Amino acid sequence: MQDRILFSAPDSLTEDIDSLLSSVEYDNLFVITDTNTLPLCFERISSCKAFIAARHITIGCGDENKNLETLANIWKNLSGRGATRKSLVVNVGGGMVTDIGGFAASTFKRGVRFVNIPTTLLAMVDASTGGKTGINFLGLKNEIGVFNRPLATVISPAFLSTLPEKEFYSGYAEMIKHSLLASESDWAELISIDEPYSMKDDFLPFIEKSVNVKCRVTEEDPFEKGLRKALNLAHTVGHAFESFAMQNGNPVPHGFAVAWGLVCELFLSTVKKEFPIEKMRQTAAYIKEHFGTFGIECKDYDALYNLMLHDKKNTQNGVNFTLLSDIGQPELDNYISKEEINEALDFYREGL
């Protein structure tokens, strides 16, 4: 199973979207945006012929809106405005929009086709491809969802100029993770860039390389039975950081949580799998410089561990980690004790 991905230069984006949508038969077209992407991003492609008769659904922005209430609102709009199983949904936005829009389409009338047009770097290299859709539930990230690939994904750096620097770096963290799964040259290239944000207008080659890493993995293992677990590198701790911050009313960008989680999980990789300590320290130093640190104390360890217990990779054996024995050499299904996790958190707090 292969993602259909169209990489589009900024000056050909509207033409490429029209070409794609003209090749699809549908009765009604629905465009899902959020309150940020409607004025900032959709306006850049609103001249597409296919969007002239489109029916718009706009939802609140931010991950706190990736919930049941917003999902029900999308379903109500689809139902009340004539959507059928022959309709097409186009999600224009970041990972929140592509996740919840894809899930809404996948479950409405047992499945409506959808196209993703990601507008953040994070969504381009991560959320919009690979077929994962879903919502947060009971304070847990992506607790409810299904695997269902979009009909196509259109990726263009045309939208990167709309991003605050912090949101750009949120996506860059996932690119660093992909590089660690790919090759030493990819990794070295990314952590040698002092100011990635200043290069955003010329970022398409880097995006393509990162997306292709993910696609190679998800094509081989579409439903996360084996190799796809490699993509969860940094996410066991990262999702715990993210959920912890959300529960405490101080949400952090997903990519920043992943970057901080990567420091912990590379430490565990060094201890458990002999990942080269110098590469671990180089990566940790780059993350500290570009992503700062997440303030935790020893008293928070139990809460973070309890959040890790909800990770979807877990079995009865405990908390399941993807680690690395070296760059490009993922090691799946590593069950790490609470004491060892605490050591990683200690390193995160004290070793950087």
Residues annotated as catalytic (active site), given as ranges: 110, 132, 174, 214, 224, 228, 232, 235, 239, 254
E strands present in 104-232: 113-118, 132-137, 140-147, 152-155
Residue 339: both structure tokens together: 């004491």
Q: Is 190 helix (H, G, I), strand (E, B) or coil?
A: helix
How far apart CA 170 and CA 166 sit, in angstroms, is 6
DSSP state of 221: -
Crossing angle of helices 338-350 and 254-273, rounded to 10°? 120
- Which distant-in-sequence residues (6+ apart) come within 8 Å of 259 by Cβ? 173, 176, 234, 238, 287, 290, 291
Helix, strand, coil shares, percent, the chain, to 5: 55, 20, 25
Give the Å distances, CA to CA, from 101 to 29, 68, 78, 196. 13, 12, 11, 29
Give the residue from 112, 152, 111 showing the smallest Cα distance to 17: 152
CA distance 282 to 192: 10
Q: Which amino acid type is present at position 310?
A: H
Surface-to-core class of residue 78, CB atoms within 10 Å of its CB (0-12 exposed, 13-18 middle, 19+ buried): buried
Rounded-to-integer distance, Cα 293 and Cα 20, Å: 42
How far apart are the C-alpha atoms of 107 and 84, rounded to whole Å?
12
Q: How far is CA 276 from CA 174, 184, 271, 308, 324, in A?
A: 20, 12, 10, 25, 10
Amino acid residing at 17: I
